[in-house]
Amino acid sequence: MSDYYQTLGVFRDATADDIKRAYRKLAMEYHPDRNSSEDAEAKFKALSEAYQILSDPDKRAHYDRFGSAPAAGGGGFGGFEHIDLSDALNIFMRDFGGMSGFDGIFGGRGGGDMRRGQDVKVTVRLSLNEVVTGAKRSIKLKTMGPCATCAGSGAGKGTKPVPCGSCGGSGEVRRAARSVFGQFVQVGPCSSCRGEGTVIRTPCEVCRGEGRIKSERTVSVDIPKGVSTQNYITLRGQGAAGQRGGPAGDLIVMIEVKGDDQFTRDGDDLWLELPVAFSQAALGATLTVPTPHGDETLEIPSGVQSGSVIKLRGKGMPRLGANAVGNLNVRVRVWTPKSLNDEQRRLFAELAPHEESGPDQDGQSFWTKLKEALGA
């Protein structure tokens, strides 16, 4: 196994920030969306694996001590198992996917082929429950698709694109130009064939020589569990078809997680406000509470104070790209009735004198506490 520190090019005493910065820089260089060289994918996976271990204080401590990642079952990736590409992409998306959006990270690509089709952005809205389980969506796309009549070439029936006469098929023209420093040769795209090297004498009648037509198709996308708003998934080559057989653009699926009526999300953790009655707070109670993983039993201890938080471990949100789940924090709110019926009024009145005398666990009654608080 290679050394994780070496992989990221950081010292063994690197800070968490150093590690994050080093990973981001290298991962952007080798991200398969940007780098199409053969070893880029393997390198990207190795970087993500190193980052996954070194960015987690517990796993890093384990690695420093034993020279390996914690064994499987420790809430992370297994011992010497290597992560696969989708894990790696998820790790990257989790920590950097929402930083500045797609355009900020990858900028305009294109660059090379003028015929390349446009990227298509779609937004998928998910409920909190779908984020917990992961989701599969069929997306109906109305965008350019290849023309079936000419098989994308743009050439009319029975004809083929022919080499451009102006540039001899190279797509480039050289022109002598003169500047104050002397004469030099300028190379630019051929204007007759727009740099393609071929021209179409008889354009296809269906697409008028474009090689693509307006079309509609359905793309299915798997959304991993644990995503957040502003994460995105790139489906390469699933965007608009290119002109005359040029490469297709990408489909970029932007994630939007809908707000939830019950739960508030804070990273991997969830919060739930739970009203309880006076008697339940005083006597304790066993309640059933909702979680995105199904109903759970919650023990309210007797004497619970309003505002106390009871933690349900592992009942929060799954962590994107990791085998870990956050907690559900239940905040207890003691509910005061706004109106009382006669019976309730009688019972509370009967209770009142006892509140004054009854000592609490720490030997104080409500009234002594109140007097203290008021400085009396």
Closest approach, Cβ 147 to Zn ion, in A, equals 3
207 binds Zn ion (CB under 5 A): yes
Shortest separation between residue 2's beta carbon and Zn ion, angstroms: 48
Regarding 276 and contact with Zn ion (CB under 5 A), the answer is no
> Rounded to the nearest whole angstrom, what is the least distance from the CB of residue 108 to Zn ion in the complex?
25
- State the minimum distance, in angstroms, from the CB of residue 251 to Zn ion: 23
Binding status of residue 192 toward Zn ion by CB under 5 A: yes
Region from 46-54, 188-196, 288-296, 306-314 binding Zn ion, contact rule CB under 5 A: 188-196
Cα gap 203→315, rounded to integer Å: 61
368 binds Zn ion (CB under 5 A): no
* Separation between Cα atoms, residue 48 and residue 26, nearest integer Å: 10
Q: How far is the CB of 173 from Zn ion (least distance, A)?
A: 7
- Which of 10, 88, 91, 193 binds Zn ion (CB under 5 A)? It is 193
Contact between 164 and Zn ion by CB under 5 A: the answer reads yes
Cα maximum dimension of the chain: 106
d(CA 324, CA 87): 13
Could you tell me which stretch among 32-40, 162-170, 348-356, 361-369 binds Zn ion (CB under 5 A)?
A: 162-170
Regarding 133 and contact with Zn ion (CB under 5 A), the answer is no
Residues β-bridged to residue 137: 221
Q: Which of 46, 93, 167, 325 binds Zn ion (CB under 5 A)?
A: 167
Q: Which of 19, 190, 300, 325 lies at the binding interface for Zn ion (CB under 5 A)?
A: 190
Choose the stretch contacting Zn ion; rule: CB under 5 A; options: 43-51, 121-129, 146-154, 357-365: 146-154
Task: Return d(Cα 213, Cα 24) in angstroms, integer.
Answer: 39
Q: Judged by CB under 5 A, does residue 147 bind Zn ion?
A: yes
Among 10, 46, 204, 320, contact with Zn ion (rule: CB under 5 A):
204
* 149, 202, 323, 368: residue in contact with Zn ion (rule CB under 5 A): 149
Q: Give the total residue count for the chain.
A: 376
Q: How many residues lie near Zn ion (CB under 5 A)?
A: 12
Binding of residue 248 to Zn ion (CB under 5 A): no
Q: Which of 28, 114, 141, 206 binds Zn ion (CB under 5 A)?
A: 206
The residues binding Zn ion (CB under 5 A) are 147, 149-150, 164, 166-167, 190, 192-193, 204, 206-207
